[in-house]
Amino acid sequence: MFRKKGISTLGKDVEYGILQALSRDYLIIVAVDSRTGEFNVSRCSEESAQVLEGYLSSGLSYEEIVYRYVDDHVHEEDRVIVKQSFSLNNVREELMTTDRFSLMVRLIDGDIVKYVRAEIRRFDIRSDRKFLLAVRDVDREVHIDLMRQNELSEAYRAAEKASHAKNTFMYNLSHDIRSPLNAIMGYTTVASDNFDDPKMLKKCLGRIDDASHQVLGIISEILDINELEEGVVNVTEHTLTMADLERQIVQTVQSQVRDKKLDFIVHNTDAANPAIVMDDAHIVRMLVNLISYSSRYTEAGGNITLTVNASNAHDPDYRRYTFIVEDNGIGCPPEQDAGVNIPIVKHILDALGGILQVETNEGKGSRFTVDIEFKLAGTEETGSDAEQETAVEDVSRILSGKRVLIVDDSSVSADIAVTILSNFSVQTEVASDGNTAIDMICANEVGYYDLILMDIEMPNMDGHETTREIRGLHRPDAKKLPIVALTADVFESTKKEAFEAGMNDFIPKPIDVVQMRDKLAGILRT
């Protein structure tokens, strides 16, 4: 139990100790008479005493010491304000209206800047005659604040840069999407007005198909960019020649360069044209992005050239290719304003082991150079055109007569799938939700359905849950009935969940007819 001691017991020694403890935070405390300038040093740290000794022992007045000290030790930019603030006249005027004021002061010690706060306080609250000048070291606090300010400034600049990049990206994205949408809407109107002209109708449908693939490509790039930034690139290699790759690129960009009234020229100097192993989907995407980027900054009537050069690699099993995309446009902007195209190109090349070089000159155009090596394919990996035609015939034969259950809550999507499969002589039935699909399976004999196309996003019971329910049915075909996801949700996480739920494969919407045909045939062949 603590006992309360009387004031008389504490005495003046304790009061003095308290004042000493409170004053330790100050480098110097000086009591000054504002009328006469007389002063008395009440507190002076060891470090301050070494600096002030010469001034204090010289017999100078308060203001003379302040002025000389300021000239010798205060930062040049602060000298005038410090002298004015701590002059006796100014102190008297300030203390007439306030009890205290302070000023941040920068001291110079060689090349080092230190911060102190000089404070003026009334010595007696009832009188403005005497005051205390107290100087406190605040260097650490100021530098912490400066660091925080710098961090905030950096964060602000980063946010501004991100905002600028976002605005540029959205502008370019809007431009890229509106162009093919304009073609789709325009040619749809033309087709409607020329319904009785088969030639014009065929032309319009072809242009609409080209523009639709452009939109699909843009959407795929937007969805993939986060995965690409994280380094997630699923490499799928095929065997083909550079001439095959050239055809894919021309087919992909032809409507875009045509609509912009640009000339697109391809120079393939690889006369040998050997079969090579590559991830052609990503290579096409990479080159198309470069061509699209060039087309954005090339005015109508200009030209874009793709040159393909080949040479021997150090490893005889590989061949080195150099792709050069050149334009005669206005020159591309800085890389930070590149939008989606250049980042996608870099991420793809990082995954495939290629290198990108960019040269651009204002008013003269740009040049993009990609160097990459591909493995040469063995003769056993290639096939003749006749063999490929036979493979297509085999696929059609496998699909003919099969019965497929389409589970989709969208009547439009279901109708499209029915129409595509009907062209391959596939029998189709449609269920508008998961519960109906399960009822239809249970209502028919074992093996009635050869395959199920399953939408994922459906009300009440989604595709994953429906698949799990089907796999849990007590019938012989429940475990082995092929189920293929058919969905517009193409994220890798969705694919992974589909396989975990028990699905056999994954087909994205919009439907690629050839991809659907080959995947279904591959599943039903086994």
Q: Over the stretch 74-131, which tens digit does the pLDDT of each residue have?
A: 999 999 999 999 899 998 888 888 888 989 999 988 888 899 999 988 877 676 678 8
Give the 3-state secondary structure of residue 188: helix
Cα radius of gyration rounded to whole Å, the chain? 40
Please say if the pLDDT value at position 72 is more than 60: yes
- CATH 3.40.50.300 matches 9-137: no
> What is residue 8's predicted lDDT score, i.e. its pLDDT?
46
Cis before 510? omega within 30: yes
> What is residue 227's predicted lDDT score, i.e. its pLDDT?
60
- CATH 3.40.630.30 matches 385-525: no
CATH of 162-229 given 3.90.1150.10, 1.10.287.130, 2.30.22.10, 1.10.1240.10: 1.10.287.130
What ranges do the domains of the chain cover?
9-137, 162-229, 238-381, 385-525
**Which of 282, 223, 222, 293 has the alpha carbon at shortest distance from 253?**
293
Start-to-end CA span in the chain (Å): 90
Cα-based angle 368, 374, 378 (whole degrees, multiple of 5): 155
- pLDDT, the chain, mean: 83
Please say if the pLDDT value at position 233 is more than 60: yes
> What is residue 343's predicted lDDT score, i.e. its pLDDT?
76
Give the 3-state secondary structure of residue 37: coil
What is the distance of C-alpha 62 from the center of its chain? Answer: 62
> What is residue 52's predicted lDDT score, i.e. its pLDDT?
82
Q: What letter does residue 74 receive in the DSSP assignment?
A: B
Helices (H), 268-364: 280-296, 341-352
What is the distance of C-alpha 488 from the center of its chain? Answer: 22
Q: Alpha-carbon distance 250 to 288, whole Å?
A: 9
Domain 238-381 class, CATH top level: alpha beta
| Full-model pTM | 0.50
